[in-house]
């Protein structure tokens, strides 16, 4: 059976995929993971997961049409313009209500 190993280098850091290993059962997988990724003290914690337990997410729905894959991120100009217009409209209505 193939197992995926995730390691945490220091407390508070996220776990990262360290690699895969083949083992007969979970006990062997845990021992191998400790030997490969924990023996020299380079890992604070380890997660050992059967490959079948890993769920692949294939479809990503972007309801707000944000493009996180662009180098410059996604544009905030339109959102800032809308926010400024809302604030201006509220200020104008508050002023006109105060004049009455």
What pLDDT score was predicted for residue 38?
Answer: 84
Residue ranges of domains in the chain, CATH in brackets: 2-53 (3.10.20.520)
What pLDDT score was predicted for residue 74?
Answer: 58
What pLDDT score was predicted for residue 90?
Answer: 78
What pLDDT score was predicted for residue 20?
Answer: 95
Strand partners, 56: none
| H or E element that contains 18 | strand 16-22
What pLDDT score was predicted for residue 23?
Answer: 96
What pLDDT score was predicted for residue 41?
Answer: 80
Site of tokens 């294939």: 58
Average pLDDT for runs of 10 along the chain of length 100? 94 93 96 90 92 86 64 69 86 68
pTM: 0.57
Site of tokens 């995926």: 4
């Amino acid at each position: 059976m193939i197992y995926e190993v995730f390691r945490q280098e220091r407390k508070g850091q996220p776990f990262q995929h360290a690699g895969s290993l083949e083992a007969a059962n979970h006990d062997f997988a845990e021992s191998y993971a400790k030997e490969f990724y924990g023996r020299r003290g380079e890992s604070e914690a380890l997660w050992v997961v059967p490959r079948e337990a890993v769920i692949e997410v294939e479809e990503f729905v972007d309801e707000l049409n944000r493009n996180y894959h662009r180098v410059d991120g996604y544009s905030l100009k339109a959102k800032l313009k809308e926010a400024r217009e809302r604030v201006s409209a509220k200020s104008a209505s508050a002023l006109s209500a105060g004049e009455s």
